[in-house]
Amino acid sequence: MKIGTWFLVLLAIVVALLGNFIAATWARQDNLFSLWFFALVLIAPFVFITFGLVTSRLSVAIGAGTIDSLLSIGTILIGLVFFNEWSTLTIMQYFGIIFVVCGLIMMQHKRTTRYPRAHTHQLLKVFLTIMTTGALRLTTDKKKR
Amino acid sequence: MFELVIWAEVLATVSIALVANSVSAIWAEQDKKLTWWLVAVVLISPLVYITFGLMTAKIGVAIGSGTLDSLLSISTIAVGLVFFKDSKKLSRYQFLGLYCIVVGIICMQLSR
């Protein structure tokens, strides 16, 4: 993927996160026709326009997979970093992150690339080693608690 | 009966979002950007967030967003592979990557 495409993916994720935040805030209000409603109507087209621009460069399946998976990881990371929710991270979520990152690495190989390059194998190995060590530590920590 | 109604509403919400995703993908494929597809994107996108907001307010943010997001991600990937003929453009590694992503999204969303 080119840098321009990654930038577009990042933009699509930021706009979608903003849209999700505005939608969740709007739905909690007693008055449904508040300023949040107008903010929602304003931001919503931009979410789908950026999504469309990503799919035009990557294809619908790969674009949707990339954006949705990074959105899920982004939401979890916001909880972990900004709300200090490390103790609430479940083993399932941890394995979910492992699967998604492996999937993202594998999706970089287009049809024209016959075999994955050696550095991708190494990247996958290093990532899996780090995450397996983390998973073991997480399970022993949970058992101790 | 109540559960059946909730599932019907979830299905309707995901369907609206799926239509919006498909319309935006069709719009972006065109060379000319100022088309009726853009008008359709602008009209349908607020509906997606309104239905999502109302559903999450009804069944709870954690369960609601988890179920809706994972169903939408998987159905959009399926629509891409079947209707947009993405399966012909993808390599084996990209298929395997998509499989990993679907499993990962289910793990992350359903354990919220």
Q: What is the CA radius of gyration of chain B?
A: 16
Q: How confident is the model at residue B2 (pLDDT cuts 50, 70, 90)?
A: low
Check CB contact under 8 Å for B86 and A61. yes
Q: What's the whole-number mean pLDDT along residues B66-87? A: 86
CB B101 within 8 A of CB A104: yes
Q: How confident is the model over A58-71, as pLDDT tens digits?
A: 889 889 888 988 88
List the structure tokens of A60.
């619908």
Residues of A in contact with B77 (CB under 8 A): 60-61, 64-65
User: Which chain A residues contact residue B84 at CB under 8 A?
Assistant: 59-61
Residues of chain B neighbouring A95 (CB-CB closer than 8 A): 104, 107
Q: Tell me: the pLDDT tens digits for A68-115?
A: 888 878 777 777 777 677 777 788 888 888 888 888 887 777 665 555
Chain B contact set for A68 (CB, 8 A)? 69, 72-73, 76, 101, 105
H, E, C per residue of chain A: CCHHHHHHHHHHHHHHHHHHHHHHHHHHCCCCCCHHHHHHHHHHHHHHHHHHHHHHHHCHHHHHHHHHHHHHHHHHHHHHHHCCCHHHCCHHHHHHHHHHHHHHHHCCCCCCCCCCCHHHHHHHHHHHHHHHHHHHHHHHHHHHC
Contact B94 A22 (CB under 8 A): no
**Best mutation target, A33, A72, A75, to test chain B (most B CBs within 10 A):** A72
Q: What value does the mean pLDDT take over residues A3-31?
A: 87
Q: Whole-model pTM? A: 0.79
Tell me the shortest Cα–Cα distance from A4 to chain B, in angstroms. Answer: 16
Per-residue confidence (pLDDT) for residue B98, from 0 to 100? 86
Over range B88-98, report the average pLDDT: 83
| Res. B26: pLDDT tops 90 | yes
3-state DSSP call for residue B111?
coil
Amino acid identity, position A51: F
Q: What percent of chain A has pLDDT over 70?
A: 83
What is the mean pLDDT of the segment spanning B19-40?
92
Residue B109 pLDDT > 90: no
Q: Do B104 and A62 touch (CB under 8 A)?
A: no
Is the pLDDT assigned to residue A24 strictly greater than 70? yes
Best mutation target among B48, B94, B99, B110 (most A Cβ atoms within 10 Å) is B94
Mean pLDDT of all residues belonging to chain A: 80
ipTM of the modeled complex: 0.85
